[in-house]
Structure 1
């Protein structure tokens, strides 16, 4: 059995999220997803997500190829999460390429290409400008 873990905010859920999670799931038998808490997102991006962490986790948990999701409370705990959940593979979008290589000692690190022309931040900006 191979366990895959990935992390993200998954705010304003879109097809790019679906494609990334589906490709991550295909790399193993179990997919575990860390969903950034509202507070973590605020500390990273200076704004709270559009959807609450409870709503975002409900969306992620509803996907048939996700086995489990949990609240990611701290970027500094990634090694703990990888170890705790027994992950064999860490998957991240290639916009993070090289930033998680230090975890190669714990598991295989894979960077998957992002879906072109789809970005939550851009979608939020477009929506805000339309209002």
Structure 2
């Protein structure tokens, strides 16, 4: 069974690790799609802090990840086809945009599965960025 999930994976953190380990537990092979900066710009206000090549390298270093595949268009059908996914793992914020509905229809037609997961409440890249900014902008006590 090949499990496929997608994301930005900026500022790799324990929430990402929990997600990827969970995905790996669903099958034999875990393939991860990594959004390019151009794709991220289509649905998030800021591009990732970490360049795509480095995000790919970090994911490739994880023992639970077997395949890392950057993607440069906001659609998921080609990724599912490329890795021959049996299960496509999505987050709780999965919506009804065209790119979501297209992959949903494709997977249903092919008899494949969609598994939805909750995000880890412990952290997120956004929370990490907010904490860094808060610390950077905080008045410093020099005594």
**CA RMSD of superposed structures (Å):** 1.7
Unaligned runs of 5+ in 2: 137-143
- Please give the secondary structure, in 1, of the residue aligned with 2:5: strand
- Tell me what 1:126 maps to: 131
- Tell me what 1:83 maps to: 81
Between Structure 1 and Structure 2, how many residues are aligned? 129
- Please give the secondary structure, in 2, of the residue aligned with 1:96: coil
**TM-score, with length taken from structure 2:** 0.82
- 2:36 and 2:52 in contact (8 A); partners too: yes
Alignment of 1:45-56 (within 5 A): 45-56=44-55
**TM-score, with length taken from structure 1:** 0.89
Larger Rg computed on CA atoms: 2
The CA deviation string for residues 55-79 of structure 1, in whole angstroms up to 9 with x for no partner, is: 1000101000100101111122x11
Could you tell me how far apart the structure 2 residues matched to 1:75 and 1:121 are?
21
Pairing 1:108–2:106 present: no
Instruction: Please say which of residues 22-31 and 95-104 is displaced more in the overlay.
Output: 95-104
